[in-house]
Amino acid sequence: MNNNNLKKAFLEFLFNGAICTVLINYLQFHDWIKSLKFGLVFGIVMSVFYTVILPKFKKKQ
């Protein structure tokens, strides 16, 4: 991974994790600790998806 991919992965992690944390807190858990844990996991999964998995599918088409 080059520097640009790392930056993109980190921004995807922050963006998706922050949105998911806030939404899950208000919609489901009503507990910031559980919401942060869920948001961290979701942010990591989505950043890997957007920077590693999705580009492989785009290259095949």
Name the burial class of residue 20, with classes exposed (0-12), middle (13-18) and buried (19+) by CB atoms within 10 angstroms of its CB: buried
Q: What is the pLDDT of residue 1?
A: 62
Residue 49 CB neighbours (<10 A): 12
12-39 tens-digit pLDDT: 999 999 999 999 999 988 899 999 999 9
- What is the mean pLDDT of the segment spanning 1-17? 89
Please give the average per-residue pLDDT across 44-48, as a whole number.
94
Q: Locate the domains of the chain by residue range.
A: 3-59
pLDDT computed for residue 45 by the predictor: 94
- Read off the pLDDT band of 42 (50, 70, 90): very high
Q: What is this structure's pTM?
A: 0.84
